[in-house]
Chain A
């Protein structure tokens, strides 16, 4: 079983829609969690950290469910510029991040 798994998508949504997707992790001892955004052929950019019960940043909401070992990302009022691959990352031993393969989101006009 992979350490971090994501639904690859793609999620094709119209502008203004809400889209949500999950990321599951296998090690219950994982300490911290992150969402990164990656545009085609670019580096991952930190979107938000996810701690304890989750957090919100503008149109983006991240949740952590330790019991079921998953985190989620919800994007409200989608913009064309939200089209990207969203990578989930999990920190186990306070150094390396283990990444999922990413979820592709395409927002259409």
Chain B
């Protein structure tokens, strides 16, 4: 499968624990995005990378959240001291943006986080 992959698919944790999610984008894509989706809502933008540079962070991304894309390939999203309000589906997407620049974003299957 050459699409976007995410790991783990499900994570149950206790409040106060740290969690880390991984995303592997489509290999030739230069942009990688993180979104969060809660029940009944559309995905909400969290942050994005162009290659290894993190270029934008949403106000939704509190200081407990950190994302990296160290070599411009896979990315990790870490949540420290999880809270029940962090329970959501965390979606990763990637796109290829160049001179033709359509920015069509393709999503991975998501990591469903439940904080008890």
Contact = CB atoms under 8 A, between A and B. Distances in A.
Are A and B co-members of a single complex? Answer: yes
Interface of A: 4, 32, 34, 41-46, 49, 87, 89, 91, 94-102
Contact of A87 (B42, B56, B110): B42
B108 interface: yes
Contacts of B101: 94
A102 B43 CA distance: 10
Interface of B: 31, 33, 35, 40-45, 48, 55-56, 58, 91, 97, 101-110, 112
Contacts, number: 53
A89 B109 CA distance: 18
Contacts of B110: 43
30 contacts: A4-B42, A34-B105, A42-B109, A43-B107, A43-B108, A43-B109, A43-B110, A44-B43, A44-B107, A45-B107, A46-B105, A49-B104, A87-B42, A87-B43, A91-B103, A94-B97, A94-B101, A95-B48, A95-B55, A95-B56, A95-B103, A96-B33, A96-B45, A96-B56, A97-B35, A97-B45, A97-B105, A98-B45, A101-B40, A102-B42
